Each structure stands twice: as C-alpha cells, then as structure tokens.
Amino acid sequence: MGRVSAWEALLLGVVEGLTEFLPVSSTGHLTLLFHLLGLPVEEDPFLKTFLVAIQLGAILAVLLLYGRRLAADRALWLRIAVAFVPTGVIGFLFYPLIKGVILGNDAVVAFFLFFVGAVLLFADRLAERAQHQDVKALPLARVAWIGVFQGLAALFPGTSRSGATILGGLLLGLNRQAAAEFSFLLALPTMFAAVGYDLWKSAPEVPEGGWSLLLLGFLAALATALVTVRWMLAFVARHGFRPFALYRMALAAVYAFFFLR
C-alpha cells in the first residue's frame, strides 16, 4: 500500500481538506507531501486511488454547508448541471491519460502551479469590474464555459479544480464571492462522478487494510473542509485572490527547485 501509515493517511486528509476548495491545487500539495513522506505516488496504484478518493470527504462538507440552499433552488441546479456536462465529457474521455500518465507528474504540477497563479493574478483585477453578483445572472453559455475550465483542470495536476472554476468565473464576469461559491457547488457532481468512477475501476485492486486508510483520509478531509470553506469566503471578501496567486507561483518555484533537478 505504498507503505502509507494511519497517521500519514490522516495528514494527507487534512491537507486535502485545507486545499481542495482553495485555488492552490490540492493535487499539487498532496503530490508534494507524498514526496516529503517518501511515498511513491507515481508508481503505486493504491496511492493514486487514495489521492482521488479522499476528495469525497471534501465533497460531503459542501453538501452539509449548502444542502438546504440547493434543495430549494432549481435555477442554481440548472447552472450546476450545464457546467458539469463539458467537465464530465472531458473527464470521461481522458480518464486513462489522467490516471495512468499525468497524475503525479512533477513537471506538469510545477508548470501549472505557476501558470494558473499568473493568470489568476490578472483575473482577480477583473473582479473589481464584475458584472454579475450571482451565477444565476450569468448566461447559460458562459456557465458552460466554466465547466470547460474545470474539465481542463482535470487534465493537468497543479492546475487546481477550484482554481480553474474560480478563474473561469472571474474571466466570464462573476464577482469574487460568486465565483468561489459556484466553484464549491460545481464540485458536487464533478467530484462525486470522478471519485465514484475511480473507485469503481480501482476497488478490486485496493489491498487489505486499504479501505480503513481511505476512511481515515475521508474523515480528516471532511472535518478540515468544513472549516476551510467558511474561512475562504470571508478571506476573499477582504483580500481577493491575489495572495493565493502569489502563493501558487512561489510554491511552483520551490517545487521545481527540489523535485525537477
């Protein structure tokens, strides 16, 4: 099982919960942590499954926080569905490439950590002239393009699913808070589909004791994400996305220095 221990599973779950909904790339941080712990994520199929499966805890956090609002808002569900369609198509078509080749690739992670950080820096300035305070005011064609941004993020670790959807939302006219909240909500069908499909494909290969490690990571991600989602909305309202963009670019430089030499 890649020699992963219970405390390492908990630590990885905490990092997932902290970073999944921030535009900083949870996959990039987890890949870096795998390196620091000496866990061979590029070669070990179980570690790749673990990397995907613990996202389920972060999804449940969003469902707990936004479930009541979602239950009463059909217009919001329509926009989530419209954005999910291109994401689902891209993810389904390129799943073998993502899981078998790209996931855990250090060069890809470092490049997209920096690139998306630079573009996010630019997009954050556009938010000062945002036209829409709510995703329900955004035309459906633009909503679909946010789904394209998210689908492309799945192809390149280091991009950040939340970072790509926030970036798409900002570029297409949403203000900062609306872009962040729609990123949280779009995670529900996207990550349920991605995690469900991966577990369905990988379940027979999960070794003895593997499910208990997945459960530990799941619970740690759930508890941490519940706090992170609320904190992020308050932080973005005060500071915008510039600190996240600069952090991404600095992390990319550190990542490249230590793991691409």
Query: What pLDDT, on a 0 to 100 scale, did the predictor assign at position 103?
Result: 56
Q: Report the chain's mean pLDDT, rounded to a whole number.
A: 87
- Among 35, 218, 241, CA closest to 122: 241
| Long-range pairs of 66-74 with CB within 8 A, sequence gap ≥ 24 | 66/184, 66/185, 70/185, 70/188
Tell me the mean pLDDT in the region 244-260: 89
pLDDT at position 261 over 90: no
pLDDT at position 104 over 70: no
Q: What is the pLDDT of residues 153-171, one digit of tens each?
A: 877 777 888 999 999 999 9
Q: What is the CA radius of gyration of the chain?
A: 17
Q: How confident is residue 248, by pLDDT bands cut at 50, 70 and 90?
A: very high
Q: How far apart are the first and last CA of the chain?
A: 27
Tokens at 241, concatenated: 């996305």
Tell me the mean pLDDT in the region 74-102: 80
Q: What is the DSSP letter of 133?
A: S
Query: What pLDDT, on a 0 to 100 scale, did the predictor assign at position 238?
Result: 92
d(CA 41, CA 216): 18
pLDDT at position 100 over 70: no
Helical H segments across 156-261, by residue range: 161-171, 176-202, 210-239, 242-259
Q: What is the pLDDT of residues 201-236, one digit of tens each?
A: 887 778 878 889 999 999 999 999 999 999 999 999
d(CA 213, CA 193): 21
d(CA 28, CA 252): 9
The residues, any chain, with a CB within 8 Å of residue 158's CB and separated by 6 or more, are: 25, 27, 28, 108, 109, 110, 111, 112, 113, 116, 252
This prediction has a pTM of: 0.85
Q: What is the pLDDT of residues 168-191, one digit of tens each?
A: 999 999 999 999 999 999 999 988
Longest CA pairwise span in the chain (Å)? 54
20: number of Cβ within 10 Å: 31
Burial class of residue 178 in the structure, from the number of CB atoms within 10 Å of its CB (0-12 exposed, 13-18 middle, 19+ buried):
buried
State how far the alpha carbon of 243 is from the alpha carbons of 83, 104, 248, 250, in Å.
27, 25, 9, 11
Q: How confident is residue 257, by pLDDT bands cut at 50, 70 and 90?
A: confident
Residue at token pair 């945002």: 130
